[in-house]
Structures are given as structure tokens and as C-alpha cells.
Amino acid sequence: MKLLTSVVAIVALASSLVWAGPEAMKNLQKPEAGKSATFSFGGEGGREFMLDGKPFQIRSGEIHPQRVPRSHWRHRIQAAKAMGLNTIAFYVFWNALEQEDGSWDFSGRNDIGAFIDMCAEEGMWVLFRPGPYVCGEWDLGGLPTYLIKEAETPLRYTGNAQFMEAQTRYLEKISEVAIPRLCKNGGPILMVQLENEYGSYKSPHDELAYIEWLKDFWTQKGAGPFYLSEGSSNHHLRFVPKGVAVGLDPADNARQMTNALRVAPGVPVFSSETYPGWLRHWGEGNWTPSRNALNSVRWYMKDGVSFNLFVYHGGTSFGLTAGANSNEQGGAFQPDLTSYDYGSPVGENGNLTREYFEYKDIILGAVPELVVPEPPATPPVMELPAFTPARLASFHELCSTAEVSSFEAPPTLESLGQNQGIGIYSAILPAGPEEVLHCKAHDYALVYVGNKYVGSLDRRLGQESLRLPARKTPAVLKIVVDTFGHVNFCSYMENDRKGLIGNVKLGDTTLTDWRVLRMPLTTIPRIVDSQGDARAPECGGLYRAIVSLAEEPADTFLDMTGWKKGYVWVNGHLLGRYWNIGPQERLYCPAEFLRKGNNAVEVLDLYIDSDTPPSITGKTERNMEVKKQTKALNNQWD
């Protein structure tokens, strides 16, 4: 009887305090240029979102403008509006804005202000998620890697003066974009998210003071109200300051909200991340939509619960921006795909999926007063006939940006000022019998002895040793280390560095006197040591094709089937990584990277060195076949 009474009390608490019901859904107010609006918390117990004094349901979809071609921004926003959403949420990726020389780039996909203005033009409100840390399956969760150049680097911590100084510099810049665009100042921004999932960081220096500092910063700038995104347990919610709304990642049913209602009195609780799909790593299965999320949206629309679909449209982690996952000890390394399709309602190139129309029917069925435009057509796509790149150089003929010698132990790439890319480490092996090399490579290494390929080491598989052949005379050991993005979730972020990690041993002997060649891949590698046909028996090469387009270009997907592992540039734009372990076989190339006339396609493959490499074609869609099943975890915190 006592248990039944408790359950009834929980249900009563949830049903009376979490949502506002039909009245909130019928508030169809939109942003108007130059007209201020008041967004606040109110209603019974302060549990409702209020817009100009009336209950308001946030129906949000997450889009990351830095993952979407700028020419397609409006299409994605219009599709969200046509689905019945009234708000766009988005992360800001700090490390894409701050450049290596300390300057700031707010152009192109980084023009956050223009994206917010476009949301307002289309009648959409905004949930602003500036970080500084955001996770988002993005390299180091959006933090710049100069923060982890040194070995001991506590992040997200007021006790780290360097971090706090850098964070303040970033927040000052991004606040210049956000403050004029708050709804009270005539813009579309309803709320600012103070930080992201801090309760799940699990570091020895977790502190409420850090979140309070962020709240004070934004309050002094004139922002507010605020929210945090967290899990629903006491552990996750222990860093929510008083007066800050709670977004749960996710809130799929009333039970997941009840604990947040107890922990955070007097503020709204909503689902800040409802997952229509889930992230994917190299070697896993392909994207699959989540049917559970449809049921969640049915509940939200029945009872007026506010929500944000993460992600409504995923886009692409162009270049070297894709992140990775691991456990708190750095094991179970899982690098993310270049594609961020996510199994979301709007696919990687803007295609509207079956689920898109199901979400739309649920939302419009619950709010018959809502009139929406027809969904926009998918942007044009094109096929490209097969073309075969020509070999420009073997891998060993390519340049590096710098050579550093005489390291006692191999340095990390971050300590040399490099974020990801490739590091080529070499040392002298003494003559001797067959022995085991002990080597920790972050993240994937090709090992050579005297220019002869011996084997690879894959961090994903926990491989840290390799048997080397006998040597009659001393020989050069060369380790080509290819990297993935930095871990973007959990406190191991502070320790995740690239290159060779720690000492390298041959049997029990530590190898010393290391040379390092750096290849950041921020630009296409140049050829500096052409040897014609006298090529060393090493793997890999650089290839180029000129593809001529007679008409104005459209989006396409470059099919890399047959290639092994590497990178693709189109007219100097790094599309991202490919790897034949899948599931991704095609790289999205938006029309804005192409031009009418000649287009240069460059490929750097770590394994293929051939005068007759595989051909490449352009497809009209991403490969979506499911060759293996991977569970959509849906962020099950508890």
C-alpha cells in the first residue's frame, strides 16, 4: 500500500507540474523583426514556459549550421517549420571559430549571427547552445585542442586559469552575436543553455562553481532565462543552479521527469534532447531511425510537453571535425563517422524521410489551428560518371610541415601544435632477432621496418604490440600514425592526445632519439621528393582527378568503394575521412564545394599505391544498407 501511494504521488506530481496542456500548444506567436518579446517561467509552481505571459510549448528541432552547407540553411529551417516545429536549437562549436593564429572566423558556415537571423526571418524561435563545451560528436566537444597541449589539463574547471581565460575570450566573442538577438531585444533567442551535460563529466574537479560562473557571465551580459541539459538521476542533476530550467536528455516518459521535479523546484522541465536516431562509429551498422521517438512526440503533443529533437537534421562533420567516444580510462575507443546523418527526419543532403512526415502528422494532428507551408523540395542532386584519379606521388614522397628531431620519447602531436592529421615517427632499430614492438598509437598506425610494411595497430581494437622481423643490421623504424577526432564525452577528454603515447619499446628496451614529421592535413600535402619509378615499397599515395561539369553543380555523394582508408578534398575542401570497414562508403559533397567547369578531386589513401587505383562515382544518395545491426542506445543514462 505504501508503494502504491508513492507511485500515485509521483504520477500526480508529474501530471500537475510538468506540462501546460493544449493552451501552451495553441500559443502560435512567432518572432517579429524588431519587436521584443518576454520569455519567462510561470504558471503553477513556476513549471511552465511563458511567452508574453501566456503558456508556450517549445517544439524544437536541432540543426548545427556549422555542419550544413550555408546555401542549404534556409531549406533546413523551412523544412522544420513545415513539420510543425516552432523553434531551432543549435550548438556553437568554439574550435571552428577560433583559428590557430588566435583570430576568429565568423564567415561561411561559422556565421552564427546570420543563421539566427534566418531563423527569425522564417518565423522560428531559437534555443542557443554556445557551450563552451557541447559534446555533439564533435572534436573535443567543441573545445580547442591548444587547451590540452600540456600533459595535465583539467577542463571545465574554475581552478584552471588558462582554461578560464580562454573560455572568457570565447564567450565575450559569442555574446556579441547572441545578446542583440535575444527575444527581449527583438531577436528570436528564447533561452541560453549554460553548459552541456556537466553532471555526466565524472572528473575529480566537478564543481557547481563552474556552472555558477557561467550563469553569472551571461546574467551580467543581460541574458536569461537559462537551462541546462542533463540526465534525470540525482547524480546528473547535482550541478543545476537555482532558477535554471532542466532539459532532460531525454525525457521519453513522465517517469523520467519525476526526479528532476524534486531536485529542481520552481522551474520548467522538458526534453532537451529527444533522439530520432543515434550516433554511429566506424565499424558499426548503418543509421536507423528510432520508432521510440515517434511515441515520445505523441506524448509531448498529447500533454503539451516542450521538446527538442536531437537531431532533427544532422548534416556532415566536414574536414577533421568528427569526434569520438571512449570510457573514462580511454579504452573502448569509438571514432565517429564523417556523416552525421543520425537517422534523423531530414537526411544528410536534406532529403525528407518517412519519419519526417510521421512527425508532421502527429504535431499537426494535435494542433489543428497550426497552419504550415508545404515542405520544401529536396535540393537538387546529381550523379557523376566514373572517373579514375591519377597517382601523383607515393605517400613517402609527400611533404610535412615541419621536422623535429632528438626527442628522448616520442611527443604527442598536440605538444607540437598539431590537431589530428598524420604524424610520421622514426627511430633506429638495432640489429637483432625477431622481437615484439610495444607501442601505444592514437589512433591508427602503419609500422615499417626499413621501408617494408610490417603491420598496423588499431586503437579501437586495443592493439598495442606487433612482432618485428629480425635485422642483420640496424634499420629505420617508421610509424605512420593516422588520427581520428578527440574524445568528445566524459573526462577522458582531458587525456586524449594524438600520435605516439609514452615510450616505445622493443622487447624490454626503450627506443630513444625520435624524429617526427608532421602532416596536419589542413591543406593538401605537397610533393617534395619525387623518385619517379624508383619507389620504396611503402603503402599509400596521393591521387588527383579533374572532373569537368558542363552544367551548374548539384549535391552529390562520392562513392569510395574500393579505396582503403584516407581523406578526400574537392577543390581544396576536405570532405572528411573514409574507411572501407564502413558503414559509410560515400562522402557528401555539397554543390557549393563544386563549380561549373573543372573540379579538382584529391585523395590521400594510406594503403593504395597504384597507377591504376579504383574509380570514383558520384551518387544521388548516401549508402543506407544495413549490413550489421547496431543498437540505437538513445542515451540511456540510468
Active site residues: 197, 273
- Whole-angstrom CA distances from 564 to 410, 537, 583, 600 are 27, 17, 13, 20
Q: What is the largest CA-CA distance in the chain?
A: 85
Q: Is the dihedral of CA 50, 51, 54, 58 positive or negative?
A: negative
- C-alpha 422/C-alpha 118 separation (Å) is 38
Placement of cell 542515451 in the chain: 635
| Nearest residue to 617 (alpha-carbon basis) of 388, 435, 408, 462 | 388
* Whole-angstrom distance, CA of residue 472 vs CA of residue 189: 70
Helix (H, G, I), strand (E, B) or coil at 190: strand
- Contact (Cβ atoms closer than 8 angstroms) between residue 466 and residue 504: no
- Tell me the torsion sign for CA atoms 201, 584, 93, 229: negative
DSSP 215-262: HHHHHHHT---EEEEE-SSTTTTTT--TT-EEEES---SHHHHHHHHH
C-alpha dihedral (439, 419, 209, 113), degrees to nearest 10: -150
* CA contacts within 13 A on the Cβ side of 192: 28
Residues belonging to the chain: 638
CB 106 within 8 Å of CB 178: no
Amino acid at 552: E
Hey, CA dihedral for 601, 607, 609, 615, is it positive or negative?
negative
Which residue in the block uniquely carries the three cell numbers 500559443?
Answer: 27
- Nearest-angstrom CA–CA distance, 169 and 171: 6
Q: Measured between alpha carbons, how far is 528 from 313 in angstroms, rounded to an integer?
A: 42
